[in-house]
Structure 1
């Protein structure tokens, strides 16, 4: 994201797996899609994948 010029704390992240944790930690807000326990711990919101 740094290569794209996206500044930490200036975006909303959506993700569904552990590889999204770092992105979530640097986001203004974050949405966990589905039931991933580790990601839910750092997400600001969670939604069902249905």
Structure 2
């Protein structure tokens, strides 16, 4: 009984870690181009 719960918890943790890594990558890319992050959006970058 414990194994399916443990597997589900590991999948959730991996998913959340992926979200945090992707958000950090987006923020870094925005800052590298001279923008600023505001509520999850990159503001002030000219294309």
TM range (shorter): under 0.3
* More strand, by proportion: 1
* Higher Cα Rg, which structure: 2
Give the number of the structure with larger relative contact order, counting CA–CA contacts within 8 Å between residues 6 or more apart: 1
Normalising by structure 1, report the TM-score: 0.18
* More helix, by proportion: 2
Normalising by structure 2, report the TM-score: 0.19
